[in-house]
Structure 1
Amino acid sequence: MQDQPPADQETAALKLPPHSLEAEQSVLGGLMLDNQAWDHISDRLVADDFYRYEHRLVFNVMIHLAESGQPMDVVTLSEALEDRDQLDTVGGLAFLAELARNTPSASNIRAYADIVRERATLRKLIRAANQIAEGAFAPQGRPADELLNEAERLVFQIAEERPKTGGPIGMSDLLTKAVDRIDELFNLKGEMTGLSSGFRDLDGMTSGLQPSDLVIIAGRPSMGKCLMSGSRLVDPDTGALVTIDELVARQQAPLLTLTDDFKLKQSCASAFVDDGKKPVFRVRTVTGREVATTLTHPFLTGDGWQPLEKIAVGERIAVPREIPVFGHDAMPEHQVKTLAFMLADGGTTQTCPMFTNNSPELRADFTQAVSHFPGVTCRLVESAEKGADRAPVLRVSRDAARFHPLREQFSQTLREKLQAKNITGEALASLLNVSKAAVSAWCNGNAVPVQTTYMRLCETLNMPLMGDNLASDYSAVAKNAPNPVRQFLEAHGVWAKKALHKRMPDGIFRLPKQQLALFLNRLFACDGSAFVQANGQGRISYASSSRELIRDVQHLLLRFGILSKIREKQNHYANLRQSPWELEIIDQASQKRFIQDVGIFSKEQALEALGDCLNTKRTHSNRDSLPKSVNRYVLAKKGERSWSELFAQSDEPLPVGYNSHLSGRSERFLSRQRAAEYARLLEGDVYLENLASSDVYWDEVVAIEPLGMQQVYDLTVDDTHNFVAEDICVHNTTFAMNLVEHAVIASDKPVMVFSMEMPAESLMLRMLSSLGRIDQTRVRTGQLEDEDWPRLTSAVNLLKDKQLFIDDTAALSPNEMRSRIRRVVREHGNMALIMIDYLQLMQITGFSENRTGEISEISRSLKGLAKEFNCPVVALSQLNRSLEQRPNKRPVMSDLRESGAIEQDADVIAFVYRDEVYNPDNPDNQGIAELIIGKQRNGPIGTVHMAFIGRYTRFEDLAPDSYGEAFGD
């Protein structure tokens, strides 16, 4: 073979992975010469660090011998390798002897080990680079962002495998460090040794947040913001109405949520809370919607999200104006009609289903629908039987006229099958264990078997005797078989229900849009009405004795964007113990949509007349208007400008005699249409545009009634933090963020926040509200008052030059956090504080079946972060729901979720407790919070009392602090 040119030799050398056989041999030989050298290199090398395969095998055996306390000379090594059938693989006894002979001394073994380790690290870097390159070159590769994350993970994984520095420290060094520390503390003259928390009493107990400490801040999620058991939510995937109990039980909840621009979107719950029993109050609105919640549960008002305890009767709250959700579980059309007819005018408490109605058209349509059920007929019960003043009644019973021909068909089919299979009647009787006379009666059409024998007969002869559905076939031919219409009604929960107790069948909510419209069409045909009143106003209504049924009708109309109102009708009948309920479609747009999308069978002329009347009227709605807070917003945005100036700027003429009706004695609620006009006048104001085109109807609260202690649940929805329940919008980090605020202001070092529950923008708005002492709802909506602007400016100036970094990526692992922190440290210097919201939202790959083990690994890793970056790590953690069952709701250590590992790893564990959440009627606990220090590794435990200012989402010392003075408080 010819010698390679120098360039080729260099290329070949470059392709050979970095390694040093001489250093590897010296490490192995040194260990054989001096077994005590193992203590110097055991924490620096692993078997995979050796490049040569034979060297890896020898080192693995050395590990085994060292752990078992055996010598590592040539003879012992050879015996151990022989036991593993690896001696010949490594080169035999001669190879081991050569290793020992070629190593003169073990005195430099640590230097040799460092060389081996360095070459191994270089090989890992090459391997990682190749994997990254392969991913980038793949013809249908992964997204670039995913490749970048993978590349970072591979590189930092190599860094993680580097040997840890440190080790045992001798008494002399320890004493020196201890004396130096005492001298440092003496010179501080009682000042804090760690990062100030911003809370005087807390700093007094902890001397600040110490470097390398893992601090756990724990509290119950939601803190009492809960819905009563049985509250229903729409499943946007299926159309079903599902109770919150079911969602919490299955830990999965697709739902609808309201965004900051007042639009509904589909989302999912990320956490599920069983909060035990709490005092619950039912909220009822003017349209008849109802939801039951705790007093602390927020509702969206014109002034933002407000807890129920701050909402009075007369306040307007946000409810969806449309829930455009339809199912996919279609029914045969005749079944949809039958359910509608029987719910409206059906009798289900006698032997046979009954239908009572004066309209010949409806009776004919009902009869046609029922005729699709096998073996039944509708018979008119003469009015003389019930009295001349009663409406005609149809009874659904077995059809004798169809019964006998079908039985003849059955007997003929049976005889044909027996002849084809060459089976005698006697043989069939023996097979089925019945009498010969019974078989004879079957064959002659005089009788049919009982249902169980009928099924066995069909199986024996391998045939459906009359059709594909054995149960329906049997109902058609058997004299005493159950009425199939009754069976159908029983299956849907409609049978044996008096009018007062009728409920909407679950299957109706899962119908597709067209079939849902058909169902409502026939329902309104029975108990609905449409007409033009004497005053020229159109009216569409529906009446029922069942309030639950009529509420479900209101919900189903909402799916078509049809707004309606429920009211209790005046009782004109002496024999009625319960007043009937009436639903009315309340505005012109909804009435037009009902005429177009739903309609009423047999009342088409009335709807046509109503439609003609609506087309002659100017579109308006006295009810569909916005809260009066919007009036104040428009006036604030208008400022000192006149209406003439605003109209001139928008090139629109000022209407003659223009009156905005935004204030004074003539003040009115602003319509959505007017809000859109003002948005244009005010240079395209986004807030007004969003309100004008929102998915929200502002419904007035008419009653807030106590329901006593009830089981309650809550859901956590990331990002928006609200969801739709019972057709009302309801809502669902504060202390830890206050720590962050102070750390950012007091330190010039970077502060890192990992917020896996709340988006970064929302956190920043909350921080501006807290620092500026501005009501958070005004900050979120932008409706700042005059005195708020200088406070906002001061808060911005406090933060603008500070180094705060917020990462709102969901479900991060500790390794991903570490890599992101390192990136910030490289660019901005050492950390002052790391905050994690919250620990239970972190994830580690490979622990899907062992959540306790995963939390243990997360907790250990967070402590490792604190030590590595020499700064406090504050992690929020949830508490178990078990504390809700205790009379004293103050948390203790055992209330921590997966508490064992967290309790062991944490240096400080503090619990946030607000007694006003659980005892809202106690005036002594209002605005007071407790921080209960349950563990402090290097200090006392106890309770720190603080003030909680809810409108600013801020905790403070009970006495005024310097920040209050800075803002004039």
Structure 2
Amino acid sequence: MNDIVETDKETAALKVPPHSLEAEQSVLGGLMLDNQAWDTVSERLVGGDFYRYEHRLVFNAMQGLAEGGHPLDVVTLSEALENRDQLDTVGGLAYLAELARNTPSASNIRAYADIVRERATLRKLIQAANQVAESAFAPQGRPADELVNEAERLVFQISEERPKSGGPIGMSELLAKAVDRIDELFNMQGEMSGLSTGFRDLDDMTSGLQPSDLVIIAGRPSMGKCIMAGSRLVDPSSGALITIDELVARQQADLLTLNDDFRLSPSKASAFVDDGRKPVFRLRTALGREICTTLTHPFLTGEGWQSLAHLKVGERVAVPRRIPVFGQSRMPEHQVKVLAYMVADGGTTQSCAMFTNSDPRLREDFAAAIRAFSGLVCRLVESDGRTPALRVSRERTALAHSRQAFAKTLRQTLARAGMSGEALAGVLNVSKAAVSAWCNGRSMPAEATFGRLCHELGVPAAELEVANYADVAKNSTNPLRRFLETHGVWGLQAPQKRIPEAVFQLERPLLALFLNRLFACDGSAFVQANGQARISYASSSRELIRDIQHLLLRFGILAKVREKTNGYANLVHAPWELEVLDRASIEVFASDIGIFSKEARLAEVVTCLMGKRVHSNRDSLPESVNHYVKVAKGNRTWKFLFEAAGRRLPEGGNLHLTGSSARCLSRARAAEFADVLEDEYLANLAQSDLYWDEIVEITPLGLQQVYDLSVDGTHNFVAEDVCVHNTTFAMNLVEHAVISSDKPVVVFSMEMPAESLMLRMLSSLGRIDQTRVRTGQLEDEDWPRLTSAVNLLKDKQLFIDDTAALSPNEMRSRVRRIVREHGNIGLIMIDYLQLMQIPGFSENRTGEISEISRSLKGLAKEFGCPVVSLSQLNRSLEQRPNKRPVMSDLRESGAIEQDADVIAFVYRDEVYNPDNPDNQGLAELIIGKQRNGPIGTVHMAFIGKYTRFEDLAPDSYGQHFGE
């Protein structure tokens, strides 16, 4: 039994937090013996470092005395504690005297303070460990990754709280260091004192990137790559079409993006840019798709992403061949039908809604849908020479029945309440005759009076047989008009009509029903005299036609929009026509949508197609794919490849990849080649969600409001059913640092994935077109360049961390880990400062950015290396005639300007003045601040296809732009 008790005591003793009462007492006693030791101790300890509560109180009292310039002895200390009403708590005057008496000397006080600090640190580590353990054991615990990050944060917070080494340095030591530095610089004979940037003129101005410097590289986000206000994006979660204006305003956007396998998938925007007013151009394709962007906005071509400025009429760009999005909303089928009929052939500008159509089946189907609304009736309107129409109005008999039901229920309610009609009239302040008319079904109370009546009787309107007041009010708006007004269909002329917003959010079967009835009115299906099968839709509303084109795209149906020719000289609004193009689309339309009342004609179209050979002239891949297939084939014959794959060689054996007879590959032929060549990239192209559409028009629209979105990873999104795209200089600095230094280089990329950065670096170093690197379509001369770039990098210490939204503490911990494992750092690059966050920061964003910039400067000093961070600029510079950035344009915080040692602005005039031939391929690096050197502008060359900046020398100007 005694053994068990002893064991328990030993276990309990082991759980006592680490501390040293003797060291704590010696520190306090030593301070009373030697007041001059306060400066030494206060640099090492704070009150919370003492284990005993009484010792904390004594130390805090000492701190107050020291700050007031008072002595630290038994008398003054007891007086200070007495004033705080803490003297008895610490043990009185006797305990203070004992502390001083039991400390013979203060000569070892620094060692005592170190012991106290060491034990305090251990206690904090124990507390942090317990906190993490408690969270891990919790029934509804946090995710493991979150707990790991929390553990790192707690540990490094303890590290941050520890007193920093260093302090004031004397003149003699400083002079010695200065003389040694001058001697070192003299012996360098003009060589750089810092890390070379790789740019001659920049190195001359800065002498390289200096150790412990914070360097800010600032530029405008997107650099002018924007789309016009009003452009619509589809929300993949709801099916809604939302303008980019709305998305930027609410700072949240679900959208579609194109992945590396050429498939569309849902994604989210990570940044939102309001870029003010800029010159905008409208791009229109052969399918009739249109989008309005700045000249610098990239589109996907057969040669990769190319800005609009480099595209010409006749070139082909990628557009979605399908939008794999349907909504989740439901609506009664009769309402869906009515919306379709009224959008197509409805008249909504008179007092009553009209549906005009010559087909009796359609009129009957419309009338049946109207009967599902309460209290409505359709009346046929016919006259000589005019198309029959149905007028929708209120059913008077139904109105009388509704009022009689109300009157009966009102009488019964008054009887149950024991209230007379006269009493009710008095309560509502109306005449007795009015109440009598209500009770006999001759009239209804005014809407406001009806509300008070329900309140006084204590019954809801439904219990008085009034589900909707408008159903029983004589002059109220009828239910159909209210329904059409809700969906934005009422009061529109034919050229103004569009698809109601609610339709875009319908689930698939209901959306198919809507299109079915829409085509039943103004759609057609027929076989032309030349044997060509056609499905089309005509309208005087261009926007309605474009809306239908988008809705068909959700079913994977390609359709072309065009202005229809007509023979009416006085026609104010030219008609527009939508035509379903290819065989596959027509077959999907027939099976998934159909046309009510025109089933026989649609069947003729399908029968016609069945007897024809499949043609894919329109739906082919870009010409560049032919070259890719040729390279993949190599020296092998097609006969050998097809036989090895167990396939039959196409008739003739000549597959016409090059030469005058070459044709662009169809998707089917590309899929065949992918199988034979076992080529995943080609297979992805053949099965992609893309259609390669020809540009037919690029038209200037003048200055317009523009916006842009950033999408992490893919950097592209779908707007107006077209694929559009959305850190170059800093990465060039990284390239040179990696190659020229044996020290590790660390890149924190919070915007672009590590793999994308590496591909960009290979393109830059190997001088290979980045689009060919990204797509893998390398030409013969590219392979040696790629091999050379790989060999340059393979033995270098480059570390890329693409974790999003890092905090300064997390960044510091990761750098420390690299230092422990690989040695001192040569360069740290951050892309970009505004994407960093401080968890739990409760102040405003400006304060948070200030704290981040101070932390980055601390990071540079701690690791003795340059820290280069990208930073965004404010939009205000877009409003100035001179777009060159200045210091006040730094985004979100003036603290960046204070903390940075060097601030440089990247400016490319061709972004803002694309028509000026003198500025093409030129860039300026404007040094706006240099703490230890001159400011000014460094001129450079920018080679866009390599995403590379280079020195600009007069004798090499032609070389840069002749590649």
TM-score, reference length from structure 2: 0.96
Aligned to 2:400: 404
CA contact under 8 A between 1:531 and 1:610: conserved in structure 2?
yes
Given the alignment, which residue of 717, 721, 725 partners 1:727?
721
Distance 1:138 1:962 in 2: 67
Given the alignment, which residue of 584, 590, 595 partners 2:585?
590
Aligned to 2:692: 698
Given the alignment, which residue of 451, 458, 466 partners 2:454?
458
The one-letter amino acid paired with 1:271 is A
The yes-or-no answer on 1:565 pairing with 2:560 is: yes
The one-letter amino acid paired with 1:443 is C
Given the alignment, which residue of 469, 475, 480 partners 1:474?
469
Given the alignment, which residue of 413, 425, 431 partners 1:435?
431
Given the alignment, which residue of 380, 396, 417 partners 1:421?
417
Corresponding residue SS for 1:867: helix
The yes-or-no answer on 1:937 pairing with 2:931 is: yes
Corresponding residue SS for 2:98: helix
The yes-or-no answer on 1:643 pairing with 2:633 is: no
1:342-378 per-residue CA deviation (whole Å, 9 max, x = no partner) reads 1100011111111100111111111121223332211
The yes-or-no answer on 1:888 pairing with 2:882 is: yes
Aligned to 2:353: 353
Aligned to 1:954: 948
The yes-or-no answer on 1:610 pairing with 2:605 is: yes
**1:29-44 pair list within 5 angstroms:** 29-44=29-44
How many angstroms does 1:163 deviate by?
1.6
The yes-or-no answer on 1:879 pairing with 2:873 is: yes
Given the alignment, which residue of 899, 902, 905 partners 2:899?
905
Change (3 A) 1:120 1:575: same
Instruction: Tell me which moved more, 824-833 or 607-616.
Output: 607-616
The yes-or-no answer on 1:313 pairing with 2:309 is: no
How many angstroms does 1:830 deviate by?
0.5
**1:234-383 pair list within 5 angstroms:** 234-383=234-383
1:545-585 per-residue CA deviation (whole Å, 9 max, x = no partner) reads 10001100111111111111111111133442222111111
Corresponding residue SS for 1:899: coil
Corresponding residue SS for 1:706: strand
Distance 1:427 1:3 in 2: 93
Instruction: Tell me which moved more, 728-737 or 789-798.
Output: 789-798
**1:735-750 pair list within 5 angstroms:** 735-750=729-744
Given the alignment, which residue of 497, 500, 507 partners 2:495?
500
Distance 2:574 2:593 in 1: 27
Aligned to 2:791: 797
1:145-192 per-residue CA deviation (whole Å, 9 max, x = no partner) reads 444444433333333222211111111111111111111111112211
Aligned to 2:618: 623
CA contact under 8 A between 2:639 and 2:653: conserved in structure 1?
no
How many angstroms does 1:773 deviate by?
0.9
CA contact under 8 A between 1:769 and 1:775: conserved in structure 2?
yes
Change (3 A) 1:4 1:540: closer
Distance 1:863 1:752 in 2: 16
CA contact under 8 A between 2:409 and 2:464: conserved in structure 1?
no
Corresponding residue SS for 2:468: helix
Instruction: Tell me which moved more, 8-17 or 236-245.
Output: 8-17
How many angstroms does 1:134 deviate by?
5.2
Distance 1:936 1:966 in 2: 29
Aligned to 1:78: 78
1:311-338 per-residue CA deviation (whole Å, 9 max, x = no partner) reads 1111111111111212223222222111
CA contact under 8 A between 2:30 and 2:106: conserved in structure 1?
yes
CA contact under 8 A between 1:18 and 1:122: conserved in structure 2?
yes
Given the alignment, which residue of 846, 849, 854 partners 1:852?
846
Distance 1:146 1:456 in 2: 57
1:208-237 per-residue CA deviation (whole Å, 9 max, x = no partner) reads 100000000000000000000100101112
Change (3 A) 1:342 1:945: same
How many angstroms does 1:73 deviate by?
2.0
How many angstroms does 1:290 deviate by?
0.5
How many angstroms does 1:285 deviate by?
0.8
Change (3 A) 1:838 1:4: same
Corresponding residue SS for 1:394: strand
Given the alignment, which residue of 542, 549, 569 partners 2:544?
549
How many angstroms does 1:897 deviate by?
0.9
Corresponding residue SS for 1:195: coil
Distance 2:737 2:351 in 1: 76
Distance 2:431 2:67 in 1: 84
CA contact under 8 A between 1:410 and 1:466: conserved in structure 2?
no
Change (3 A) 1:151 1:442: closer
Change (3 A) 1:777 1:153: same
How many angstroms does 1:58 deviate by?
1.6
Instruction: Tell me which moved more, 128-137 or 953-962.
Output: 128-137
Distance 2:25 2:97 in 1: 11
The one-letter amino acid paired with 1:356 is T
The one-letter amino acid paired with 1:621 is S
Distance 2:960 2:127 in 1: 57
Change (3 A) 1:916 1:270: same
How many angstroms does 1:537 deviate by?
3.5
How many angstroms does 1:8 deviate by?
8.0
CA contact under 8 A between 2:212 and 2:862: conserved in structure 1?
yes
Distance 1:487 1:41 in 2: 80
Aligned to 1:221: 221
Given the alignment, which residue of 764, 771, 782 partners 2:776?
782
Instruction: Tell me which moved more, 252-261 or 60-69.
Output: 60-69
CA contact under 8 A between 1:893 and 1:899: conserved in structure 2?
no
TM-score, reference length from structure 1: 0.96
Distance 1:68 1:963 in 2: 69
Instruction: Tell me which moved more, 761-770 or 418-427.
Output: 418-427
* Percentage of pairs with the same residue: 77
CA contact under 8 A between 2:289 and 2:722: conserved in structure 1?
yes
Instruction: Tell me which moved more, 150-159 or 909-918.
Output: 150-159
The yes-or-no answer on 1:670 pairing with 2:665 is: yes
Distance 2:14 2:273 in 1: 60
Change (3 A) 1:250 1:656: closer
Change (3 A) 1:416 1:308: same
CA contact under 8 A between 2:258 and 2:265: conserved in structure 1?
yes
CA contact under 8 A between 1:24 and 1:113: conserved in structure 2?
yes
How many angstroms does 1:643 deviate by?
1.2
Aligned to 2:629: 634
Instruction: Tell me which moved more, 837-846 or 84-93.
Output: 84-93
Corresponding residue SS for 1:354: strand
Distance 1:228 1:468 in 2: 53
Instruction: Tell me which moved more, 820-829 or 144-153.
Output: 144-153
Distance 1:380 1:656 in 2: 63
Distance 1:468 1:831 in 2: 81
Aligned to 2:920: 926
Given the alignment, which residue of 824, 827, 830 partners 2:818?
824
The one-letter amino acid paired with 1:463 is V
CA contact under 8 A between 1:414 and 1:465: conserved in structure 2?
no
How many angstroms does 1:484 deviate by?
2.1
Change (3 A) 1:966 1:750: farther
The one-letter amino acid paired with 1:240 is A
Distance 2:57 2:507 in 1: 67
Stretches of structure 1 lacking an aligned partner (at least 5 in a row): none
CA contact under 8 A between 1:374 and 1:473: conserved in structure 2?
no
